[in-house]
Structure 1
Amino acid sequence: MLSGKNILLGITGGIAAYKTTFLVRLLIKAGAQVKVVMTQSAGSFVSPLTLSTLSKNPVLMDFINQEDGSLSWNNHVELGLWADVMIIAPATANTLSKMAHGTCDNLLMATYLSAKCPVYFAPAMDLDMYKHPSTKASFDNLQSFGNIMIPAESGELASGLHGEGRMAEPEAIIQFLIKDLTKDLPLNGKQVLITAGPTHEAIDPVRFLGNRSSGTMGFELAKQAANLGAQVILVSGPTNLSVLENSNIDLVNVTSAQEMYDACHEHYDQVDVAICAAAVADYRPKNIATEKIKKKDGDLNIELERNPDILFSLGEKKKNQFLVGFALETENELENAKGKLKRKNLDAIILNSLKDEGAGFGGSTNKITFIDKNLEIKTFGLKTKPEVASDIWEEIITRIHA
């Protein structure tokens, strides 16, 4: 959820400011772009150099920069427009009061007042300050403006007292952000199962039968589902792809069709949507050699047996799941896809034709036709695979929310 987002972190002068080094690190690890604006007093608690190094951006503390005898302006308006999310952590009682009353006496406050994005604030102060009526009034005012409060935690405070007022831990702030940002997304609360990539069917310890699938389509479908708020179980055959550290995607690596079958059935009962985008081998060697097969004169014959049909088995077991399959065809494309849709008890099928240039395995683009169980057909032009994934999810969401 945070990958690719521009996050502006405002740091104010409280002892909890030391935690922001960990917060910046976690935001960067989640794939966000981070810029830091600090008050002058915050620099007494945490090093701007440390934050600059971690965020890979200069830390801003004043309206004016003076370097090598020249002056430049830190544009608070541009900062406010740049941010997708603004977090003020720690938010001291002093800063909360300024925010609540529009007091604009430093760069951070000017940037806050210019922000067009959601603003989150994480209070941090001593127990009595936290409970003071003026502080509670600041909380109420800020939330009435549309700002979002990340509640303080209870524990040992800098004064030695125990109680409410500790700034939320960096991990808790990250989880709060993700939960809040996903709450209005169309797949929030949904569990999704996606298969991706090829399967490798062993011939001997060093050789296998496989295909040219890169897994890109399945991985893009998984990323898009996660960005739409779903919890994704991605069952992938051997690929060179990754999902980085997306907490919404649980990657299950498998090798063979049987392993993929087992993994799908392990999770299928708990999901709302299942998309079988993997290019599963239809056959496997009946007997796998325990030692490397040596080259000999003459031909080598390998007896093959059928692999389990994962998509068919899920269609048989289907209860309330929305089940989607893929059909890669070379002739009678539409009729073959419709037959597979009915035969395997699917809710929709995605048709690829190898006759379409830029479609199919191995490339960065695809061209699809979406067919649902009512035989409503929608054909899309050639697009990049991330764009195709977006189109597929748009069609699915329209139907599951109908």
Structure 2
Amino acid sequence: EVSVIMTPSAQEIITPMAVRWASQGEVITDWDGDLSGLSGFDAVLVTPATRNIIASFVHGLMNGPLLMALSAARGRGCPIMMVPSMHNDLAHDPVTEDLVVQCVKSGVKVLWGAEEEGKRKTPNHEEIVARLGNLVNNNSTSVVITLGATRTAIDDIRYVQNTSSGYTGYMIASELYRHGMDITCVSGVTTIDKPSWLSLDIECPDPDDMLEELKALTKDNIDVWIHSAAVLDYVIPDPVEGKIASLQGDLDIQLKEGAKHITELRESCNGAVRIGFKLESGIKQKDLVHRAHAQIQSAGMTATIANRMEDYGKEGKPRGWLVDSHGAHFILETEQDMCNAIRSVIENNR
């Protein structure tokens, strides 16, 4: 539920009627007898936040319902996020910097956008919503999620790599971030842009390097581990230094079985929520569920997301199945169903 407070300046740019239609919520434009600005909001978001609004908030002025709502929110300890937007000259003014510091000291989250065309512009709506969600739902749950493809070197310029864009991992990470969790991504090779709000992303394209990074992270007492990366089952043990010359005829490349990350981490992640992924092809659903449950038992997982390669992305086919430690399984029709199921597993096992 959204209530919008529009300043007189905002009403000169867009009409309250248009905002009410878009938000499907109340639009407050002036003082009223109900003092709607004192309503018990879960959070107050000011975007764009002008220097005038920031200064008025810092100095306790109250010349409209927006500043009244901000003052009441500050008094209740309600989360406040401001998204300043102004020319660079104003943003770099020491007075502006001091005002922002005072906001931060009073508990306000200040989100600056990128510098473009001589201005600090408003970030895109997805970033604003993600960061506001993290602020409102903030909790102490720490999550490590692996994502993307991994590769093993043939020589210094060639490699063997499996297929994964990182889309699923980043989608899960973003969903959990919006619900207030502290996210660390350990990414292999990805082909999509990383969401800007996921600030801690450790790049480890090599599966052995990724495993060593995960082992190091176990020392931080992580609450939740999600293994969505496509980790190579087989690796090249002795890559050639330099470049193998062309026109040498056929090459015989030796592959050895690589380490299973979820198995290697079993003892050091004891007590944490652990969610794995299981991709198979050419098998029936009941066999897929059986193999996913076997993975849970062998690696000490909490749950596994199981899916079949031939179903992925096909209309009318489910995104996968959630399999728990008891062998129960639940169909996941969409990507969002998968994210919701993972969040439920975390919340029910914490």
- TM bucket, shorter chain: 0.5 to 0.7
The CA distance in 2 between the partners of 1:194 and 1:239, in whole Å, is 14
Q: Deviations 1:280-336 (Å, cap 9, x if unpaired)? A: 012221211112112345431112223222111122222221011111122332222
Match of 1:55 in 2: none
1:174 to 97, 109, 113: 109
Deviation string, structure 1 residues 225-279 (Cα, Å, up to 9, x no partner): 1111111111111112233320x54111111001111121222343211100011
Paired amino acid for 1:265: K
Q: Give the one of 248, 257, 263 matched to 1:312.
A: 263
Worse overlay, 233-242 or 260-269:
260-269
Change (3 A) 1:7 1:290: farther
Say if 2:334 is the partner of 1:379.
no
Matches within 5 A, 1:65-104: 75-79=15-19, 82=22, 102=32
1:19-98 paired onto structure 2 within 5 Å: 37-39=7-9, 59-61=10-12, 75-79=15-19, 82=22
**Does 2:296 match 1:341?**
yes
Q: Which residue of the partner structure matches residue 275 of structure 2?
A: 324
Secondary structure of 1:217's partner? helix
**Deviations for 1:201-225, whole angstroms, at most 9, x for unmatched residues?**
0001111011121221111111111
What amino acid does structure 1 have at the position aligned with 2:295?
Answer: K
SS at match of 2:164: coil
Among 329, 342, 346, the residue aligned to 1:393: 342
CA contact (8 A) 1:203 1:209 kept: yes
**What does 1:2-401 align with in structure 2 at a 5 Å threshold?**
37-39=7-9, 59-61=10-12, 75-79=15-19, 82=22, 102=32, 118-119=43-44, 124=55, 130=60, 142-143=72-73, 148=78, 167-169=99-101, 172=104, 173-175=108-110, 181-182=133-134, 185=137, 188-246=139-197, 248-270=198-220, 271-296=222-247, 298-330=249-281, 331=283, 332-356=287-311, 358=313, 367-381=319-333, 383=334, 385=335, 387-401=336-350
SS of the residue 2:304 aligns to: strand
String of CA shifts for 1:187-210, please: whole Å, max 9, x gaps: 722111101111010001111011
- 1:332-354 Cα distance to aligned partner (Å, 9 max, x none): 32222111110011111111112
Q: Name the TM-score, length of structure 1 as normaliser.
A: 0.60
Q: 2:37, 2:72 → 1: CA distance? A: 12
Q: Which moved more, 1:138-147 or 1:307-316?
A: 138-147
Are the equivalent residues in 2 in contact too, given 1:80–1:114 (CA < 8 A)? Answer: no
Q: Is the Cα–Cα contact under 8 Å of residues 351 and 370 in structure 1 kept in the other structure?
A: yes
Kept after mapping to 2: 8 A contact 1:80/1:112 = no
Percentage of matched positions with identical amino acids: 20
What's the secondary structure of 1:323's corresponding residue? strand
When residues 262 and 81 of structure 1 are mapped into structure 2, their CA distance, relative to the original with a 3 A threshold, is: farther
- The change in CA–CA distance for 1:268 and 1:366 in structure 2 (over 3 A counts) is farther
| Counterpart AA for 1:376 | A
2:305 is aligned with what amino acid? Answer: I
Partner Cα distance (1:206, 1:84) in 2:
55
Alpha-carbon RMSD across the aligned residues, in angstroms, is 4.5
Letter in 1 for 2:154: I
In 2, distance between residues paired with 1:245 and 1:299?
44
Give me the whole-angstrom Cα distance separating, in 2, the residues matched to 1:324 and 1:370. 10
Q: From the superposition, tell whether residues 7 and 252 of structure 1 become closer, same or farther in structure 2 (CA, over 3 Å).
A: farther
Q: Quick one: which amino acid aligns to residue 238 of structure 1?
A: V
Contact 2:147 2:228 (8 Å CA) reproduced: yes
Q: 1:76–1:114: 8 Å Cα contact kept in structure 2?
A: no
- In 2 relative to 1, CA 225–292 (structure 1 residues): closer, same or farther, beyond 3 Å? same
Larger radius of gyration: 1
Gaps of 5+ in 1: 1-5, 11-36, 40-58, 63-73, 89-94, 132-137, 152-165
Change (3 A) 1:283 1:233: same
CA 219–130 in structure 1, closer or farther in 2 if over 3 Å, else same:
closer
**Letter matched to residue 335 of structure 1:** H
Counterpart amino acid of residue 393 in structure 1: I
For residue 295 of structure 1, give the secondary structure of its aligned residue in structure 2.
Answer: coil
Verify the 8 A CA contact 1:120 1:148 in the aligned structure 2. no
CA 1:268–1:139: 2 relative to 1, 3 Å: same
User: How much does 1:170 deviate?
Assistant: 9.0
Cα gap change, 1:81 to 1:372, in 2 (>3 Å)? same
Q: Give the TM-score of the pair, scaled to structure 2.
A: 0.68
Unaligned runs of 5+ in 2: 47-52, 62-67, 82-97, 112-127
